[in-house]
Chain A
Amino acid sequence: MSSACWSCSELVGEGVLCSHCYKLQPVVKKSAFLMLNLPMTFDLDMGLLEQNYFKAQRMVHPDRFATSDKTQKLYSAQHSAAINEAYLKLKDPIKRTAEILKVEGYIQPNIELQTLDDPELLMEVIELREELLEVQTEEQSQKLKNKIDTLFDGNIHALSTAFSSKNLDQASKLLNRLRYLSKIRFEANQRKAA
């Protein structure tokens, strides 16, 4: 898709800079994967994610446009913020899963914690919560945290399998479980701090 450069009116392509006058163009909405030039996969190469994140920021960061005109300064901040957002999305397995499902058109964007309609998950969550309440010693706390970590990692693995077999229903279900596990993990960590 091409549009006219805001500065020189020439047609600009996909790039963030106009190919004629090299001025920074406004942000075009893209998926987080496209934004950072990465293949859409759950099993993301984290090293590559960092590398591409830095590469993208290098081009558009406000430090590069500190002495530019107002328009480019504004676009630079917007690009940089969009890249930061994409980076955070892809770094976190929960947000990454949600992003893939969104691009696949599977669930509505901005969907928050879904209701617990999965009886199996409901039981699991209730049991974990009870265990959390019963924790008294440091040893018990560590043991429970290890257990949650193991469940969390197992869920990540299952998500990877679900995506590679293109089972989006399963992925969505696992995403839901991951959200609950993440919430309980956070609470378990908080408890220790208190």
Chain B
Amino acid sequence: MRALLQISEPGQLDRKATVSSGAIGIDLGTTHSLVAVVENGKPLVLSDEKGEQLLPSVVCYLDGAVRVGNHGGSMVRSVKRLMGKNVGDADRLNESQFHAIDKTASDQVIRLNVGTKSVTPMEVSAEILKTLKIRAEKHLGQQVSQAVITVPAYFDEAARNATRDAAKIAGLEVLRLLNEPTAAALAYGLDSGEEGVYVIYDLGGGTFDVSILRLEKGVFQVLATGGDTELGGDDFDRLILDNYLSNVDDSIHERIKLARELKQKLSFEEAVLTPSGHLLNRDDFNLLIESLVQKTLNICQDVIKQAGLSLPEIKGIVLVGGSTRIPYIRKRLESVLGQTPLQTIDPDLAVAHGAALQAHALTQGSDTLLLDVTPLSLGIETMGGIVEKIIHNNTPIPVSKSQEFTTYQDGQTAMSFHVVQGERELVKDCRSLCRFELRGIPPKVAGAARIAVTFTIDADGLLTVSAKELTTGVHQTVHVKPSYGLSEEELTAMIVAGYENAQSDMNERLLQQAIVDGNRLLNAVESALEQDKALLSQEEYDEMRLFLVDLRENIALKHINAIKQSCDRLEVSTQTFAERRMNKAIKTALTGQSIDTVL
């Protein structure tokens, strides 16, 4: 687009550069997902063509096509609950009641039956991410390849890895996995300019997080975090379902939808009527959810204690997540923490806002400093199935820590390690992450070899483990990938498949790009004509106007090849014009200046 560049006014910046870097913030939620960007320094949540900001995290497979939202067919909802989980976890959580889990799949990766094929939770999540990516591309008029994606603070290693894999399948580079309460605090703090210690209580559709943050002069320091990744609004829906809707003759999807509607109504009304004519009032509902709410409050109190704080030191409670609209939760929080929660931020949008702000900060630079912690302890199995913790929970990340181990048999030349995550003392009560073996240890008497095991957690909260025999330097590094996650080969295959399915997405994107380019050319030529019409003969002027009309029409028709052709024709026809303008500009610049200053 040489002609265009010549024709633009000097100092007039390329639109792409001024709008945004194209890095987006995504709140990948259990029930809803959102995408936001930063424009003019402010976060903006993007809507679909109907003006909806919240994209239901529901993926529908129908006749070979995949659509995100409530579109019928073979539907997968709340897939976030399965992220990083294995088949055993799904059984334990009774998820098969709500998900068509493929029982024939032999490996540990969960597979879901959708129509004629079976997909992993990562692929399902990738569909949601792709939809949000396209939404952002339409808005920005440019390709998007980088994103900050939020995850529950209490997500473990496996779930974080699964989220990153989903992003890869969707063609997104993860700039940062950002903890949801931290994202909300970022949005709240930058907006209000408040300082002090805050409790972020985040109860979403499927997960619960609580983080204690200190906000101070552009620093967001997480002091402690806790939560439950298997507790959220979905569980309240399921309680209504089991207790009041078990007789309703409808599909599980319809019944869940109904339960959710009843729950939401109860936040505004004292009582609602179930389809079977039963009156469900607020007190009944509060009784149903009481023990789950108590669980969240216990976690809150525990985390405050872990942060070494007492209640009077807490300046405010920030509520995040749709479930915090339930009046009973607000009431209980108020009585336990001794203060009224703040209601200054939209609990649905705060996380997406924070994600967009962080994406902007990471690509454009910022004075804000975010210091987060690792939510769960990491350790190594030792004799007797006991966990030797190497990194404790609530340690600031990134972190790198080593511990020395030794051989326990004479002549031992190999040592196997079992990496686990969790707060409990026994291996069987913690989550197993991976096993690996260090070989080539020089045979010595028991206890003579010195093996240093180093755990490194990066800013995304992801772990790398390395082991080294200190006397010989035998070394091994493992990027921890849970045994029931995707292998590199599987992931690569999915990314390739993603590209193929994305052909239609790609066409859409190319069209949007052509439209943006076309409009830019239109504007540039029109403003140039306005200023320098005098440089053209009537014939040249008419021809240019004709091409302009032609281009405008093709843009309106959204015909990609025609737009490109019109652009090419217009560019060729404006080349001479551009040269004349350049000459004129140089002449103007030189007029009245002495030869000395010019040379």
Q: Do A and B bind each other?
A: yes
A contacts, CB < 8 Å to B:
54, 57-58, 61-64, 66-67, 77-78, 80-82, 84-85, 87-88
Please give, as numbers and ranges, the residues of chain B lying within 8 Å of A88 by CB-CB distance.
395-396
B219 interface residue per 8 A CB criterion:
yes
Please give, as numbers and ranges, the residues of chain A lying within 8 Å of B39 by CB-CB distance.
none
Assess whether A62 is in contact with B399, with CB atoms less than 8 Å apart.
no
Tell me the total A-B contact number using a CB cutoff of 8 A.
54
Q: A62-B458, A62-B459 are in contact. Are A81 and B398 (CB under 8 A)?
A: yes
Assess whether B396 is in contact with A58, with CB atoms less than 8 Å apart.
no
Give the Cβ gap from B145 to chain A, nearest Cβ, in Å. Answer: 12
Assess whether A80 is in contact with B219, with CB atoms less than 8 Å apart.
no
Complex interface bits, B357-379 against A, C-beta within 8 A gives 1, otherwise 0 = 01001110111011100000000
Assess whether A85 is in contact with B399, with CB atoms less than 8 Å apart.
yes
Please give, as numbers and ranges, the residues of chain B lying within 8 Å of A62 by CB-CB distance.
398, 458-459
Q: A57-B369, A58-B369, A61-B369 are in contact. Are A66 and B175 (CB under 8 A)?
A: yes
User: A-B pairs with the 7 shortest C-beta distances?
Assistant: A66-B362, A62-B459, A84-B396, A81-B400, A81-B398, A77-B398, A80-B398
Please give, as numbers and ranges, the residues of chain B lying within 8 Å of A58 by CB-CB distance.
367, 369
Q: In the bound complex, how far is the Cα of B458 from the Cα of A31, in angstroms?
A: 23
Please give, as numbers and ranges, the residues of chain A lying within 8 Å of B362 by CB-CB distance.
63, 66-67
Give the Cβ gap from A104 to chain B, nearest Cβ, in Å. Answer: 23
Assess whether B399 is in contact with A54, with CB atoms less than 8 Å apart.
no
- Having A58-B367, A67-B362, A87-B396, one finds 15 other A-B pairs with CB under 8 Å, namely A54-B221, A54-B369, A63-B369, A63-B370, A66-B362, A66-B363, A77-B398, A77-B458, A80-B459, A81-B397, A81-B398, A82-B400, A84-B398, A84-B399, A88-B395
Assess whether B399 is in contact with A81, with CB atoms less than 8 Å apart.
yes
Complex interface bits, B449-464 against A, C-beta within 8 A gives 1, otherwise 0 = 0000000101100000
Please give, as numbers and ranges, the residues of chain A lying within 8 Å of B458 by CB-CB distance.
62, 77
Q: In the bound complex, how far is the Cα of B396 from the Cα of A81, in angstroms?
A: 8
Give the Cβ gap from B477 to chain A, nearest Cβ, in Å. Answer: 13
Q: In the bound complex, how far is the Cα of B521 from the Cα of A168, in angstroms?
A: 76
Please give, as numbers and ranges, the residues of chain B lying within 8 Å of A85 by CB-CB distance.
399-401
B176 interface residue per 8 A CB criterion:
yes
List 30 interface pairs A-B (beta carbons < 8 Å), by A numbering.
A54-B219, A54-B221, A54-B369, A57-B371, A58-B367, A58-B369, A61-B370, A63-B358, A63-B362, A63-B369, A63-B459, A66-B175, A66-B176, A66-B363, A67-B175, A67-B363, A77-B398, A77-B458, A78-B400, A80-B398, A81-B397, A81-B456, A82-B400, A84-B395, A84-B396, A85-B399, A85-B400, A87-B396, A88-B395, A88-B396
Closest A residue, CB atoms, query B21:
A67
Closest A residue, CB atoms, query B403:
A110
Q: In the bound complex, how far is the Cα of B456 from the Cα of A85, in angstroms?
A: 12
Q: In the bound complex, how far is the Cα of B178 from the Cα of A62, in angstroms?
A: 13
Closest B residue, CB atoms, query A59:
B369
Closest B residue, CB atoms, query A79:
B398
Closest A residue, CB atoms, query B458:
A77
Give the Cβ gap from B303 to chain A, nearest Cβ, in Å. Answer: 14
Near A by CB (< 8 A), chain B positions 394-422 give: 395-401
Please give, as numbers and ranges, the residues of chain A lying within 8 Å of B219 by CB-CB distance.
54
Give the Cβ gap from B186 to chain A, nearest Cβ, in Å. Answer: 11
Please give, as numbers and ranges, the residues of chain B lying within 8 Å of A82 by CB-CB distance.
400
Q: In the bound complex, how far is the Cα of B176 from the Cα of A180, in angstroms?
A: 41
Closest B residue, CB atoms, query A67:
B363
Q: In the bound complex, how far is the Cα of B367 from the Cα of A64, in angstroms?
A: 9
Closest B residue, CB atoms, query A87:
B396
Q: In the bound complex, how far is the Cα of B360 from the Cα of A67, in angstroms?
A: 11
Closest A residue, CB atoms, query B369:
A58
Please give, as numbers and ranges, the residues of chain B lying within 8 Å of A81 by CB-CB distance.
397-400, 456
Give the Cβ gap from A67 to chain B, nearest Cβ, in Å. Answer: 6
Give the Cβ gap from A5 to chain B, nearest Cβ, in Å. Answer: 22
Give the Cβ gap from A24 to chain B, nearest Cβ, in Å. Answer: 14
Near A by CB (< 8 A), chain B positions 165-185 give: 175-176
Q: Which of B176, B399, B400 touches A63 (beta carbons < 8 Å)?
A: B176
Please give, as numbers and ranges, the residues of chain A lying within 8 Å of B370 by CB-CB distance.
61, 63
Give the Cβ gap from B35 to chain A, nearest Cβ, in Å. Answer: 19
Q: In the bound complex, how far is the Cα of B361 from the Cα of A63, in angstroms?
A: 8
Please give, as numbers and ranges, the residues of chain A lying within 8 Å of B367 by CB-CB distance.
58
Please give, as numbers and ranges, the residues of chain B lying within 8 Å of A63 by CB-CB distance.
176, 358, 361-362, 366, 369-370, 459
Closest A residue, CB atoms, query B459:
A62
Q: In the bound complex, how far is the Cα of B175 from the Cα of A66, in angstroms?
A: 7
Please give, as numbers and ranges, the residues of chain B lying within 8 Å of A87 by CB-CB distance.
396
Please give, as numbers and ranges, the residues of chain A lying within 8 Å of B401 by CB-CB distance.
85
Assess whether B361 is in contact with A84, with CB atoms less than 8 Å apart.
no
Q: In the bound complex, how far is the Cα of B395 from the Cα of A80, in angstroms?
A: 13
Please give, as numbers and ranges, the residues of chain B lying within 8 Å of A54 by CB-CB distance.
219, 221, 369
Q: In the bound complex, how far is the Cα of B419 from the Cα of A95, in angstroms?
A: 26
Closest A residue, CB atoms, query B399:
A81
Please give, as numbers and ranges, the residues of chain A lying within 8 Å of B369 by CB-CB distance.
54, 57-58, 61, 63
Near A by CB (< 8 A), chain B positions 340-390 give: 358, 361-363, 365-367, 369-371
